[in-house]
Structure 1
């Protein structure tokens, strides 16, 4: 697995006040934290009332990986996101660049403000 340069903290370690993922974040939070927040929010919303253990089995990931992503204890990786998107049939990766956490007005997540022409269902686009 590739290593990041520098000492990256876990996503939730960037929370300055409140709790993950809805708290306020440190002013120097890297852009990656905004993506982790958005993915965690989309993941939680897509899971709904579904069993997390059964989702983890279906996505072929460890249950602890799923809980770590939801709680901000680990960084989402492309393989895990792809497997979860397939199992949920929902888009987890943001469709557009996510604004820095300090740039968000009134704490609105990108997923709460649909892009023009975008689906508001949260479902993955169907192949044509």
Structure 2
């Protein structure tokens, strides 16, 4: 009988990603009413955290168990590197190829990041 030891962590990660997505939708809807030209900056700010963090969460929870301790640590290290590369790539594309407002892009990135921290705190205490 195989038990997925990473199942609670996977569920928590999915809930956190859903919270980030909903916060991003709220910021997008507010930006559409405030100034539609800022929407691209807001979307890219949310995407620049949401996509790399989702890839990181997938990468980290691929393996679980005491017998795979070394593989889990290696996977987490690789996931962090991949997250950094993806975030950098999205920022480079946003700032070099698209006309974005840096303050709004970085603000949306920061709000999405803080919402993830808050969600993890609230959800981990709740469970």
Judging by fraction of residues, say which structure has more helix: 2
- TM-score, normalized by length of structure 1? 0.31
TM-score (norm 2): 0.31
